[in-house]
Chain A
């Protein structure tokens, strides 16, 4: 394409400019002049040569662009678990497919148990993944060394990578074995071993971070990419804009994975944006973009694999918008019946359920049946409950952990404040729940 040729010419010019730079210490990048010198091949399509133009042609027609064609939604299976186009069959092994299904069930049962646990006041907070379990397909499309930055509703990717039930429970219970040392709210998981950056509550902050991490991985040359998850609500934050723009300009190997589940707490997606979802924006940033059926685990898997290839082999950022439906409440602090009919939720759960879809697909292949289902459900339930009561019984972390890790070494102020707390709890031991904590505050 002509644009490419002229861009190449410009990049050559940059090199020349760099040497000029040293001589006269000034910068000229006259992209417009160079483009002007190109012969005009077609008078009716004269190219725009302003430096900000990327490939525009002049027109004599006043035509405001209202929309582009809606971006289609890629799927592999229909709601009955039937492959709609054999060429798109993921061609996966039985073990692999069953593992994904088992992880989806595990996530589902975990959610049921921990949601109830919060309702009983045994943990302070919880967020379920109901309806979005197929997200696990995206983890399956990655290399385990690829770094993940998440929002908070991606526990499935951790399960897929091997996050143990104990690790998960320890985090929710803020006990002494929590990798995060009990400092963050439940569901704010993180694992260095599994290349999953610790979750934080501020929405969208992870998106430009993912771009930066991807740039670093590219420089390190180890052929890995970064996966970044966020919801359609978070995509309204300025950080989304910043991240996609910088990823495109700096050619960062990052996959932006938007879980568009229709709601940001109570705000329906159509009050979140007016354009064609999140996907249409990717194109505006010059990013390869695709929309996928978020309840179709194989569609997500195929798309992630293809995106990863683009990211790693060509250093191109990719935007994936997965359309799905948030079946559960936003969190345990939310009652979604206050803003959407219960029947709507029930219909989604019944008619378009990622678990049911994959189960039907597996059953068609004779890789799964009712017996397996019942057996696995009861055994995993037992495992989860064991991990649950084990985590509940453990002590909370040592109170010293309140003061560690603010900096690499505690500052004089922090040391003084720790000392002061130590004296205070020695003076008023009955005013604090010391016995719940490891070492009962004695190691402060």
Chain B
């Protein structure tokens, strides 16, 4: 009912692209685009962007760890068993797959389920897991989001670990009741007799270049408004693996939103061992003294580029970039400390502006840093419209909008 016909088409489409082994897939893609480019060049039209979504700048990002040394030079990994261990080149779907493989290995009660997860998932996140762990631990469910989440709550309520997948975050709304009225309140309403701490709901979210209304949404603010839920969004493969393992093992229900545009675009050296990154803690990606810039998920790469441009255009400017990672609970202290130093704040997310998560950040920082603020807090968000298809480039809080907001707060 809630899963559109387009999704089914999309699944077929995704299936066609992703069901082939990676190397072969790349080859086919390359060959396809090469041929298309040739035809289009002769016809005078520009070459199209790759069909599965493409995020400029990720490959060049300073936040992507392309060597083992860089990957392990991370203070949060120091205290884990992987500090001196091996790393392996993984994109984000592979890192997520790796995390789930470890979760299933280390926890006999853990199972993974959702629509189309058994053959590997439409985004390949569960590839090979059914073969490795058996169909009783990695299985397809009927096409019903409220059923998937209700089922996961039930498993967790009797102490098992349930890793549920909602195929697109846009289709999480049929499960809204189960998440908000049930999962979030399970421990509280029972006086702690029962809880669903073993539940993790993973879901691909955010823009993908051509997802239109129902393959692009960022629904995090609906859930950060719900006490009892933990909401997490990673920005890279290392993050995704560590945060997902922490989410699965956390004793609270977690909504783990995966920016789908990064599944293939973000590739880095990921520790192969078992490690967790802390929930509820932000990460300072770049230190600076003049402006604090806050974001999460794929938006960080846009912000990175906007900062680069602003710092080039305004000599001497230095911006501090913070990745929130966890949106509920979120790390107010790290942001407040930063703003107390810089006096200026720009927050950016892809979701619509009104009542978006930036409103929460802005208000909290206003309360905590009122005397230190030197300019109004800027929100650079999606527009207050449904997520459009052909107008995506005008809708998203792109580099230009973010760059402009940074300039505004500096020149105020």
Contact = CB atoms under 8 A, between A and B. Distances in A.
B114 to A, nearest CB: 11
Given A25-B21, A408-B251, A205 B160 contact: no
A209 B182 contact: yes
Contacts of A406: 187-188, 227-228
B189 A184 contact: yes
Interface string A396-431: 000001001111100111100000000000000000
Contact of B109 (A213, A219, A238): A219
A197 interface: yes
A243 B188 contact: no
A200 B151 contact: no
A246 B193 contact: no
Interface in A195-227: 197-198, 200, 202, 205, 207-217, 219-220, 226
Nearest to B18: A25
Given A212-B150, A212-B153, A239-B150, A25 B20 contact: yes
B194 A215 contact: no
A233 interface: no
A178 interface: yes
B131 A18 contact: yes
Interface string A365-376: 000000000000
B46 interface: no
A213 to B, nearest CB: 4
A179 interface: yes
A245 interface: yes
Interface stretch (A91-99, A186-194, A303-311, A351-359): A186-194
Interface string B184-196: 0111111111110
A404 B192 CA distance: 9
Given A216-B109, A216-B158, A219-B136, A243 B194 contact: no
Contacts of B181: 200, 202, 205
A213 B157 contact: yes
A405 B191 contact: yes
Interface in B173-187: 174, 177-178, 181-182, 185-187
Contacts of A178: 191
Contacts of B186: 198
Given A22-B131, A405-B191, A202 B177 contact: yes
B181 to A, nearest CB: 5
Contacts of B157: 197, 209, 212-213
A212 to B, nearest CB: 3
B193 A26 contact: no
Given A179-B193, A200-B181, A238 B187 contact: no
A21 B24 CA distance: 15
Given A200-B181, A216-B109, A408-B252, A413 B329 contact: yes
B325 to A, nearest CB: 15
A250 interface: yes
Contacts of B315: none
A189 B32 CA distance: 62
Interface stretch (B138-146, B287-295, B299-307): B138-146
A242 B19 contact: no
Contacts of A27: 19, 119
A220 B136 CA distance: 12
Given A208-B154, A209-B154, A215-B151, A242 B144 contact: yes
B327 interface: no
Interface in B202-234: 227-228, 230
A407 B19 contact: no
Pick the most buried of B136, B150, B185: most chain A CB atoms within 10 A of its CB.
B150
B101 interface: no
Contacts of A122: none
Chain A's interface size range is 35 or more
Nearest to B139: A250
Contact of B151 (A18, A188, A211): A211
Contacts of A413: 329, 332
B153 A209 contact: yes
B170 to A, nearest CB: 18
Nearest to A18: B131
A241 interface: yes
A216 to B, nearest CB: 4
B53 interface: no
Given A179-B193, A215-B154, A238-B174, A412 B144 contact: no
Nearest to B330: A413
A414 B188 CA distance: 13
A205 B252 CA distance: 19
Given A27-B119, A210-B154, A217-B158, A246 B189 contact: no
A180 interface: yes
A147 interface: yes
Contacts, number: 170
A382 interface: no
Contacts of A219: 109, 111, 136, 160
A249 interface: yes
A213 B177 contact: no
Contacts of A238: 144, 146, 174
B151 A179 contact: no
A212 B186 CA distance: 15
B189 A188 contact: yes
A212 B189 contact: no
B295 to A, nearest CB: 21
A226 B151 CA distance: 13
Contacts of A243: 147, 150-151
Contact of B146 (A192, A208, A249, A404): A208
A408 B195 contact: yes
A21 B132 CA distance: 12
B150 A407 contact: no
A200 B189 contact: yes
A183 interface: yes
A212 B191 contact: no
Interface in B111-154: 111, 119, 128, 130-131, 136, 139, 141-142, 144, 146-147, 149-154
A208 B280 contact: no
Contacts of A211: 147, 150-151, 154
Nearest to A182: B191
B333 interface: yes
A180 B190 contact: yes
B155 interface: yes
B194 A212 contact: no
A181 interface: yes
Given A180-B190, A202-B181, A405-B187, A208 B151 contact: yes
B144 A190 contact: no
Given A205-B177, A406-B228, A245 B147 contact: yes
A326 B159 CA distance: 35
B200 to A, nearest CB: 14
A216 B332 contact: no
A413 B156 CA distance: 26
Contacts of B182: 200, 202, 205, 209
Given A22-B128, A213-B158, 12 more contacts: A26-B19, A149-B154, A190-B194, A192-B193, A198-B186, A211-B151, A211-B154, A214-B154, A216-B160, A246-B147, A401-B191, A407-B187
Those 7 A-B pairs whose CB atoms lie nearest each other, nearest first: A212-B154, A208-B150, A242-B147, A209-B154, A198-B190, A212-B151, A213-B154
18 contacts: A21-B131, A25-B21, A180-B191, A183-B188, A184-B189, A190-B194, A200-B182, A208-B147, A212-B154, A212-B157, A214-B154, A216-B109, A216-B155, A216-B158, A242-B144, A404-B192, A405-B187, A408-B197
